[in-house]
Amino acid sequence: MIITPESCKGLTDKDLARLSIENLDYFSCLFLRYEENMLRYIRRISGADKNWAQDILQDAFIKVWKNLNDYDQGLKFSSWIYRIVHNETVSSMRKGKSFGKNKEVDIDLFRNTLFEEVVDQTDQSPDPGKVIQQITQLPVKYQEVMMLKFLEGKSYDEISDILRLPEGTIAIRISRAKKMLRQQHHE
């Protein structure tokens, strides 16, 4: 049987992970399902250009494949894969790779909820690019949680799984990051 993206539509991530162990063709369905979101996430947290982000993604998916047998069914598959991609991205950044100076972000994907939570309602509408730039000026531990929460739309539970931190720590970091952004906004 030839596996196509169409034949994978009714399958859950967990089903695809299990089937991928038996038949590599199912893994292509997982890759296609996550490729776009993971590339966007890599570029957001690293500032990598498209080519470098694709290299990171390729390395991350090799790790996903190698570790499918160790996937904890108690975790959401999306959280598990985000954690692997996150760790691979951070590892690449630590190796001293140059990602260029221009960090491109798709402003349309930036959620208005962040503006409502960070910026006073009495102020004029903030420039999304400026808020994103301000996020990139935060310490890395605060950038990570803000990007996952407001740009990737992840819940505290999912962020906890991705970063392997307690939910309370996630909540504190988000709160502190918002406070820092409010302070930057008023400067």
Query: Is 145 in contact with 114 (CB distance < 8 Å)?
Result: no
Count of residues making up the chain: 187
99 domain residue, yes or no: no
Same domain, 77 and 9: yes
The domain tally of the chain equals 2
CA pair distance 154, 57, nearest whole angstrom: 19
pLDDT at position 28: 92
Segments of the chain scoring below 70 in pLDDT: 1, 96-129, 185, 187
Per the structure, the complete domain to which residue 139 belongs is given by 107-186
pLDDT at position 61: 95
pLDDT, tens digit, 9 for 90 and up, residues 53-73: 999 999 999 999 999 999 988
Same domain, 111 and 90: no
pLDDT at position 151: 81
Same domain, 72 and 16: yes
pLDDT at position 121: 42
Residue 121: CATH number of its domain: 1.10.10.10
77 domain residue, yes or no: yes
pLDDT at position 47: 80
Same domain, 24 and 70: yes
Pick from 64, 151, 59: nearest CA to 108: 151
pLDDT at position 114: 54
Q: Say whether 166 sits in a helix, a strand or coil.
A: coil
pLDDT at position 97: 47
pLDDT at position 128: 63
Q: Say whether 45 sits in a helix, a strand or coil.
A: helix
Query: Is 157 in contact with 80 (CB distance < 8 Å)?
Result: no
The DSSP result for 85-139, as a single string, is HHHHHHHHHHTT----S-----GGGS-HHHHHHHS-TTSPPPPHHHHHHHHHHS-
